[in-house]
Structures are given as C-alpha cells and as structure tokens.
Amino acid sequence: MRRSELEKRINAALSSVIKEISGNAVGSHYARGLASEGYAGGYRDALNDVLLLLSDVPPNTRGYWRT
C-alpha cells in the first residue's frame, strides 16, 4: 500500500475515533473529563504515533518509542 493511501486510511480511522470520543463527552463534566481516557483515547494516541512515524518524526508517547 502506498504511503498516501495508508495515511488516508489512518486519518479516516482517526476521524471515527474522535467522533466516538466526542459522543462520549456529552453530559456531565465527568463524562467530558473521562471521554478520552478509555480504549478510544489510547487508540487515538496510537494512530497519531503511526502518523508521526510516517512523517519521519519519532513519537514520544509515554516513552514507549524510546530506543
């Protein structure tokens, strides 16, 4: 798969994850605060890390990418 197609698919998935997080944030201030703390938030972070790698930028999320 070409890099541009890969980035397009990742961005589409990222958009879906962001919509899910936004939907979970409706309601109380607790819901807004916790909306990105679950599985969707972690998945969003992982997709962002992959996009950084594709752009030749080393991610630094929680130190997982240190060599």
The burial class, CB within 10 Å (0-12 / 13-18 / 19+), for 51 is: middle
Query: In which residue ranges of the chain is pLDDT below 50?
Result: none
Q: CA-based diameter of the chain, in Å?
A: 43
For the chain, give the percent of residues with pLDDT over 70.
100
Confidence (pLDDT) at 15: 97
Confidence (pLDDT) at 42: 92
pTM comes to: 0.84
Q: Which residues contact 34 (CB under 8 A, 6 or more apart)?
A: 24
- Cα 15 from Cα 9, distance rounded (Å): 10
Sorted by where each begins, the domain ranges of the chain are 3-57
Confidence (pLDDT) at 54: 93
